[in-house]
Structure 1
Amino acid sequence: MRDRFLTLARRARDAVGGIDLVVMLSILAVVGGAWGFLEIADEVSEGDTVKLDERILMALRSPDDPSDPIGGPVVEELVRDLTAMGGVAIIGLVTASTVGFLLMDRKYHAAALVLAATVGGQLVSSTLKGLYDRPRPSVVPHLMHASQASFPSGHSLLAAVTYLTLGALLARLVERPALKLYIVAVAASITALVGLSRIYLGVHYPTDVLAGWCAGMAWAILCWEAARWLQRRGMVEASIEA
């Protein structure tokens, strides 16, 4: 038994040794994101998350008036501004600005990949919404207009795709690890705030947001790893190498 274990361990070591560390971590992240999404989707489909979802939404409202969010008008206005960062208008503007910069820098293939990642993310979001067709929360009044199905959160998914991709691009422009970490942390923070804003405004259940983060992260990393693979083969400019 011990010899068999050692043999398997050596084989695993040799197999992993032939894989780039970044590639291995990317695969784990994509698989983890996809697994997380499917687990949440399964729980949602079976109705196991309803009580927890509704309890969290109610905790963010006044006990006497569900239409009154905690924090008052000032916080509500700030949250509305934050949620716009995951909307089509802002995401489109950020994507167009990034693509424009890459085109001006003659990184045509890189620009195409950034555009494909964002547009693809929108298609993934629309497809998943149509597949699960979960109604919007009704336990609290919505604090802003919301259309389409609730699961997963499109704002959360697109924020993850756009800001994590942009963060990876910017992180390549600096050398200090601390600066790289700072850029990625800012991108992740924006993604988190967008998702949390959707819960606060009552237009999404918490599980919608979690699923959106999982799917968006998986899609963003999948696109990024595809870009690295193409770059190593000279098909994409080095400016987007991770």
Structure 2
Amino acid sequence: MNEISPETPSTASLEQLLLRDDMWMGHSQRFTTRAAVETGYEQLNASLLNRGWPLGSLVEVCQQGMQGEWQLFTPALLALPGLVVLVNPPAAPFSQAFIQAGIDLDRLIVVAAAGKKHFISCFIELCRASVGAVLAWQPQETMSYTELRKCQLAAAEGTGLSVVFRPVAMQQQSSPATLRLYARLASSGLEITVFKQKGHLQTQQAKPIVLPLPAQWKAATPHAALMQKSAGAKTDSKPQPLASIIPLRGKT
């Protein structure tokens, strides 16, 4: 029987472990392969682990005010099959803009959910139903980590694109979302900063990616400051239904 020094087994064991395919080492991007849909922007695709928006996951967008940042997802909406559901959009969708973008209005559903409780219920059920995409705007009440976790688990049960838009202040809050980014509409373009990706160890502060503004966005840029001021205005206190569906077909 050969004599083995005390250090040999532990050294060999460590080296063998590091060579295993199922050993994640922090900086490694193994085990991050998941279904994704291209963003439509090569520069943004290059910064995402699977070169696109992750499907069956919660994507969180923190934004200043309520601008047209959601249109960042237009190329993905065109590529995905199934329904596109908007939950609590900050303004009534303009049907002609969707038509010009190439989105069939028959695929589009708008859901108005009153209060955080009903917002979360709607979001969870829609994600589980595996519709093509759910784009939801967080209500005024702050969502807790536990509530966001429920949304993440529901998104994981589905196969579609699940996005929640939140105020920029929520960027400092811990979140279970698979992908988190900050979006800012500027005169130079749409600035996107990816500050969290599950499966990716970020070792330095992320630099913003500036995407060119599509022609239909440019008209909104001069009104950014006005929209931010009006965001804090008081809303109508009339009683609202718990949830309602708003048809877009026929609106101009």
**TM superposition score normalised by structure 2:** 0.20
**TM superposition score normalised by structure 1:** 0.21
Q: Which structure shows the bigger proportion of residues in strand conformation?
A: 2
The structure with higher relative contact order (CA 8 Å, sep 6+) is 1
Name the larger-Rg structure.
Answer: 2
